[in-house]
Amino acid sequence: MLDSIFHIYYLVGFISGSAIRFWYGRKYRQDRMTIFRTEGLAVGLLASLWGVAILLPLLYTYTDWLSFADYYMPAWTGFIGMGVFTTAIWLLWRSHYDLGRNWSATVEIKDSQTLVTAGVFRHIRHPMYAAHILWGIAQVLLIHNWLAGLASLVVMILLYLLRIPREEQIMLEQFGDDYRRYMSRTGRIIPRFGR
């Protein structure tokens, strides 16, 4: 019974997160880029795999194809997963909201790009990555299957490791000392408070 509740919660969170990405992607897609850095084959493949990884729980929930990879977790971990997932979806929304026209799904600088240091960006430089890593952790706690539960977290960590250095280099090139100062007072994916 509780597993069904956790699966439904995952589905609601998945729809909410997808709606946020769709809304902001559609709202700001007309902005023209001045600098576009190719992502590379590895990053492109990982991004595609991440898409598959967040869909695996739907396959797991509605078929028995992945049941061979089930694992046991106490029911209380699912409630923690619900809290983590709620935080992830809020952080995903707030990141998009605070970035506004500066948001892009790819590593790029736009014509009117500004350095956003307000809202959630006051404490954390990459809150969207933090949101997706939290999403992956929640998925492990809500979907008790080695493939459907763990895939998103593994792929997102690899994607984070490949993309963050490139993104930070582009920001340093664009904003120079302003970005260096910003880096010194914020956390990469773990918020830094009090500085």
Higher pLDDT, 111 or 51: 51
Helices within 28-150 (DSSP H only): 41-62, 75-99, 127-142
What is the 3-state composition of the chain as percent helix, strand, coil, each rounded to the nearest 5? 70, 5, 25
Asked which of 58-67, 77-86, 126-135, 182-191 is least confident by mean pLDDT, the reply is 58-67
Residue ranges of the domains in the chain?
A: 2-185
Q: 125: helix, coil or strand?
A: coil
Confidence at 46, pLDDT banded by 50, 70, 90: low
Tokens for 120? 């959630």
Q: Are 26 and 101 in contact (CB under 8 A)?
A: no
What pTM was estimated for this model as a whole? 0.85
Tokens for 88? 């992830």
CATH C-level class of 2-185: mainly alpha
pLDDT in tens, 138-159: 999 999 999 999 888 888 888 8
* 33 pLDDT more than 70: no
Average pLDDT over every residue of 50-54: 74
Give the whole-number percent of the chain exceeding pLDDT 90. Answer: 47
Tokens for 142? 């809500």
